[in-house]
Chain A
Amino acid sequence: MNQSAVVGAEDAIVFIIDDDSSVRRALEDLLESVKLRVLSFASTQEFLRSSRPDAPACLVLDIRMPGQSGLDFQRELASVNLHLPIIFITGHGDIPMTVQAMKSGAIEFLTKPFREQDLLDAIQLGIEKDRARRQDATIIAELRRRFAELSPGERKVMTPVVGGRLNKQIAAELGVSEITVKVRRAHVLQKMQAQALADLIKMAQALKVS
């Protein structure tokens, strides 16, 4: 059974929200046995109140919970900008419920009792997705930090440069000398840590400043 372990997920964490304590404990133990870090909660409120470690993660969520349904909670997470991949588990899933969950971006929808391999596969997929999303987020955060270091004059130059305008044209448009444009352009490339114009264009796209 060891071939089924979730690979490359050493630092990852799985959140379980299920109001049934025996299901919770069993799932917790199952994930621990494949060397995953697990935090489990009896309710969505408990989950929201907790301080969650900053690591790639995914959420295993029982769709039928007292108080708030799993589908409502899925919407709430999206509205507070918490982008966790969700794996729904349910005692009795109907088709409309499944469709709605999958449309809202759920990774998987498992009907209890499910095969543990299906759960582990879904968790692996969820963690990979979250890891990729987090990497993108880290890169963008770094670019934002670099962009913030540009002077107002340098920012003004960056947009037309990325747009493919010539130094001469930019100088005319901004009412500054061509030399000034050249200097600012060099500063932009340096501060944004771009090797070439092509890199800068990609960065501008990621930052949506073009």
Chain B
Amino acid sequence: MKTRSYASAFAAPSFLPLATIALAFGIFIVDTVTDLEIAVAALYVTVVLMSVGFCRRRGVIFVSSTCIVLTILSYLLTSTGAPRAGLINCAISLVAIAATTFLALKIKSAETAVYEARAQLAHMARVTTLGELAASIAHEVSQPLTAITASASACSRWVAEQPPNIEKARQALDRIAKDANRAGEVIGRVRSLIKKTPPQMEWLNINEAIRDVVAMTANEIEQNRISFHTKLTGDIPPVLGDRIQLQQVMLNLIINAIEAIAAANGAVRNLLVSSAISESGGILVSIHDTGVGVEPDKLDQLFDAFYTTKVGGMGMGLAICRAIIEAHGGRIWAKQNIPCGAIFQFILPAGGRGAQ
């Protein structure tokens, strides 16, 4: 089990930070014991570049400053060699470290921009495609429905006449049946539209998928001053699934959690995403938040289409989540968090059992 916090400047756990520290220490030792003329300190640029891989902006600056301090310290501690050449070497090393840091930070901000753009895109795609789809379905269905209601009321008038106009009533009923079939065809077309884009099934590591989604939401998490943690089980079996679809589910759940925390606006603002192996051997992903929570009697309706508690919400997000998870042979549910907030969990068959 590994824990990491977005609140700190260091973001990713792996052997990379340890290797970086070891390298910096090694360079320091070698730089100190060798003569002043030998510019080992220039190798600190490697340390700075490595830090880009796991640090955020502040972290890179911290690493770079440490390298500068170590370079100067080595220069002061080294007693052998020509002091003049040593001073020049030391200056060159410092300039190299500074220049590398500058470039590294530029790369970092470009990466951040890419993440922000991706997160925004995911947001927009979620809203616009749903909105457009809903509007066009609404229009397509409203035509036959209009015809059906008009025919039905005409029909009841024909029957109420004295004597009843059976022929007219029968014609109206025929039209009703025809228009009802037409409405059904619209739904059939929507279904076939969904089937046209078959899910791209691949073996994937759920932890990697979680990390990608977390990176996309880093901004929202920071803006809402949320203390964010992940608790990912390291040795997790792979899942057979559509990466984009599963990320869509997690993105939805995490954004919901962020919105719930923002809405509650309490002092405790925790968000925890965890992965685990369930008792049945499936893969369990949980999103715990300390947001506004869900009333116990509403927990079952949450995943129904058009059910929403948000102002301006469409009530499609969780319904789509459920559809995706069930298509992967899994289950999704919600429960109350203690003392406040909600827990959303889904379980996927490990090793792809049950996946199509």
Contact = CB atoms under 8 A, between A and B. Distances in A.
B4 interface: no
Interface residues of B, number: 26
Q: Which of A30, A34, A89 gathers the greatest number of chain B CB atoms within 10 Å?
A: A30
B171 interface: yes
B326 to A, nearest CB: 31
Contact of B147 (A22, A32, A34, A92): A22
B58 interface: no
Nearest to B145: A113
B28 to A, nearest CB: 68
Contacts, number: 77
B147 A33 contact: no
Contacts of A30: 150-151, 153-154
A193 to B, nearest CB: 45
A120 to B, nearest CB: 9
Contacts of B31: none
Contacts of A113: 142, 145-146, 148-149
Contacts of A32: 154
Nearest to A117: B153
A22 B178 contact: yes
Contact of B142 (A22, A112, A119): A112
A114 B138 CA distance: 13
B150 to A, nearest CB: 4
A150 interface: no
Contacts of B219: none
Contacts of B142: 91-92, 111-113
Contacts of A29: 150-151, 154, 168, 171-172, 175
Nearest to A25: B175
Contacts of A91: 138-139, 142-143
B160 A22 contact: no
A33 B150 CA distance: 10
B80 interface: no
Interface string A7-25: 0000000000000101101
B175 A33 contact: no
Nearest to B182: A22
Contacts of A92: 135, 138-139, 142
Interface in A30-59: 30, 32-34
A1 B157 contact: yes
B301 interface: no
A92 B136 CA distance: 9
A27 B160 contact: no
Contacts of A195: none
B109 to A, nearest CB: 41
Contact of B179 (A1, A22, A112, A115): A22
A29 B135 CA distance: 28
A64 B262 CA distance: 41
B115 interface: no
B153 A22 contact: no
A116 interface: yes
B144 interface: yes
Contacts of B154: 26, 29-30, 32-33
A89 B145 CA distance: 13
B305 to A, nearest CB: 19
Given A29-B172, A33-B168, A112 B151 contact: no
Of A2, A20, A29, A116, which is in contact with the most chain B CB atoms at under 10 Å from its CB? A29
Contacts of A2: 157, 160
A1 B153 CA distance: 8
Given A29-B154, A29-B172, A1 B160 contact: yes
Given A1-B157, A27-B150, A29-B150, A112 B175 contact: no
A116 B135 contact: no
Contacts of A27: 146-147, 150
A116 B150 contact: yes
B62 to A, nearest CB: 53
Nearest to B147: A26
A62 to B, nearest CB: 10
A22 B156 contact: no
Given A92-B138, A112-B142, A26 B151 contact: yes
Contacts of A116: 149-150, 153
Report which residue of B142, B145, B148, B178 has the largest number of chain A beta carbons within 10 angstroms of its beta carbon.
Answer: B142
B147 A23 contact: yes
Nearest to B143: A20
Nearest to B140: A91
B145 to A, nearest CB: 4
A116 B145 CA distance: 12
Contacts of B160: 1-2
9 contacts: A1-B153, A23-B147, A27-B150, A29-B151, A29-B175, A30-B150, A33-B158, A92-B138, A113-B149
Given A29-B154, A113-B148, 4 more contacts: A22-B182, A26-B146, A26-B179, A89-B146
Interface of A: 1-2, 20, 22-23, 25-27, 29-30, 32-34, 89, 91-92, 111-116, 119
